[in-house]
Structures are given as structure tokens and as C-alpha cells.
Homo-oligomer: A and B are copies of this chain.
Amino acid sequence: MARQNTLFKEAYNRYAARLKPDTELPSEPEIAAELGVSRSTARSILMRLNDAGIILWNKRQKTVLRLPTEDDFFPKEETDSLHDIIERSFMTRIMSDEAQPGMQINELELAREIGTGTSVVREFLIRFSRFGLIEKRPNSHWILKGFTSEFALELADVREMFELHSAAQFGRLPATHHAWEDLKAIEREHHALLKDFDAHYRDFSRLDEKFHLLIHRASNNRFIADFYDVIAIVFHYHYQWNKALARERNARAVSEHLDYIEALQSRDQQRISAACRQHLASARQTLLQSIPQGAGEVAGSAA
């Protein structure tokens, strides 16, 4: 098959879930905009809802007849985009113990294991290469550089440069800028998390990402924003993978965040810089401690 209609299925599920009984649905362009898809896809969704007897569709009239049942939804396996499937599958492999730095990556083999064509895998690898974890030998294979301590150090260095810059910019934002409200909201979320920390400390990673993203946005720089994707993906899989001492780590990070937020709100560049450094230094520590031991010592590609 040339292409899976996962977008349609995913959007269908999304829309079906939010239907309210005995209501009228808006116009096609409006539905499309709500779902973030084209009108063609929106129409396909309406058509299927109509066929399933969930709505009655006649030109402008679109009446919800009943709520969808479990059976009306597409199963979750069918709604993942190919790109997400490959990313998950690939990251799991990269973070596993079998993955040794210096290892070759075989496009065809990867494609077969994931159950997809080679071109998608290929395009994924090209996109993924900007994360610095793999490298291409032209006319030949990819090489896994691996999640090594060198990687973590290089990542942390750039992160520090960028975040110091962004945090300084943040401190210069005019008082009317909406980022200040966003920061307040994030501060409240931190306090809420602390209220019942034992029950909620696992939610910290989401909040962490949100906080740093807000800061990086202040830089208004596409290269910094793009680099934040690298950090986000590394931390995302890193959190999933290394759960030891999560409670202590997160507790420390929350308290550092609160200092950092306070410093930002003071708009005192000295304080901002100090709080930022403090937090990033301990984030660096955390990342380094989670590197699989022995990684980096294997096969330092000579060729």
C-alpha cells in the first residue's frame, strides 16, 4: 500500500470522542480547522460518521444521532503515524544495552524489523542525524555514535550557552509580555506538584520541558529553538529509561526551578545567570550519571 490513512483515523477518533448528543455540527471548514486537517479529511470523517449512523448528514445539516461506542473507534495501533512508530522503535533500540557505540545501522534490516519500507527509515535517519547520535558514511552505512558521556557533555555545554542567553533575554522581556503570565502559571504548577509530591513527582518531566521551552522561546532564535528539540528528546527517553532515584532528583530540580523562577522575576541579570548556572550544573550531573557504564570505551571508530 502506498500510504496509510492514519491521519484520517487519528482525527476521526479525536472528533468522535468530542461529539455531544443532539447537537448540530459546524461547517466543514470549521471542523477541518478544529482538527488541524484539510477539508478533504474532515469530509471523510463526516462521511464515515454518517455511514456508521452516528450523525445524520445532509448538506449543511449535520445532526448527532448517538454517541459513538467503543467499536466505532479505530484501534490505537492504527492511528500512530509511521514516523512516531519508527522513532519509538529506534530510540528503544538506541537506549538498550545491545546498542554499542560504533555499531553499524542497516536501513533494510531496520525497515524489516519495524515492518515498513526503506525510504521512511532512510528519511527518519536523515532527520534524526541532527541529534548527533548517529553519523553517515557516504555511500555506506550509518554509524551509531551512541549515548555516551562525550555526547552528554557536548549536549550540556551547548545547552548552557543557549539557556544562559535565553534566560538573559527573558529577563529583558517587557512587563506586558505574556511570557510573564506563563511563568506565573508554571510557578503555580510547581507548588501544586510539591503539595503531594509523592503522588505526583513523576509528572515533573512534563513540567520541566514546559518550563525550559518557555525560557528558550524568549531567545526568539530558530537555532536555539531547534536545539531544544534535541534536549527534549534526550530527556524524554532518558526519563523513561532511568527511573532510579527519580524522586530525589526531581525534588532537587523543583527547588532549583523555584529559585530560577524567582530570579527571572527579579529581572536582575546577575541573579538570573547564577540561578540558571546552578540548575544546569545539576541537570548536567543527572544526565552524566545516567550514561550506561562502559559506553564510549568501545571501538572508537578508527576508519
* Cross-interface CB contact of A162 among B37, B127, B161, B226, cutoff 8 Å: B161
Bound CA span A158–B169, Å: 14
Q: Are B132 and A226 in contact (CB under 8 A)?
A: yes
The residue of chain B having its C-beta at the shortest distance from the C-beta of A37 within the complex is B139
Chain B residues, Cβ within 8 Å of A227:
223
B123 and A223 contacting across the interface, CB-CB below 8 Å: no
Is B222 within 8 A of A132, CB to CB? yes
**Chain A interface residue bracket vs B:** 20 to 34
Contact residues of A between 116 and 165, Cβ < 8 Å to B? 119, 122-123, 126-127, 130, 132, 139, 145, 151, 154-155, 157-158, 161-162, 165
Residue of B nearest to A220 (CB): B154
Q: How far is the CB of A90 from chain B (nearest CB, A)?
A: 16
A154 x B221 contact (CB < 8 A): yes
Q: Is A186 an interface residue (CB 8 A)?
A: no
CA distance A151 to B226 in the complex (A): 14
Residue A7 lies at the interface, judged by CB distance under 8 Å to chain B: yes
Bound state CA distance, A224 and B155, in angstroms? 10
- How far, in angstroms, from A127 to B154 measured CA to CA in the complex? 22
Q: Which residue of B lies closest to A7 (CB)?
A: B139
Q: State whether A223 touches B132 (Cβ < 8 A).
A: yes
| Smallest CB separation, A78 vs chain B (Å) | 17
User: Do the beta carbons of A158 and B221 come within 8 Å of each other?
Assistant: yes
Assembled-state Cα–Cα distance A142/B158 (Å): 28
Residues of B within 8 A of A119 (CB): 119
A154 and B123 within 8 A (CB): no
- Chain B residue, CB-CB nearest to A41: B139
Question: Which residues between 96 and 126 of chain A lie within 8 Å of chain B, taking CB atoms?
Answer: 119, 122-123, 126
Closest to A219 in B: B157
Interface residues of A in 54-106 (CB under 8 A from B): none
Residues of B within 8 A of A37 (CB): 139
By the criterion CB–CB under 8 Å, are B126 and A221 in contact?
Answer: no
Contact residue among B122, B139, B145, B154 (Cβ-Cβ distance under 8 Å from A223): B154
The contact string, 1 if C-beta is below 8 Å from chain B, for chain A 219-246, is 1111110110010000000000000000
A130 touches B162 (CB 8 A): no
- Assess A158 versus B226: contact at CB under 8 Å? Given A123-B122, A123-B123, A126-B123: no
23 residue pairs A–B, Cβ–Cβ below 8 Å: A7-B139, A37-B139, A38-B139, A119-B119, A122-B123, A123-B123, A123-B126, A126-B126, A126-B127, A130-B130, A132-B223, A145-B222, A151-B222, A154-B220, A154-B221, A154-B222, A155-B223, A157-B219, A158-B223, A161-B162, A161-B165, A223-B227, A223-B230
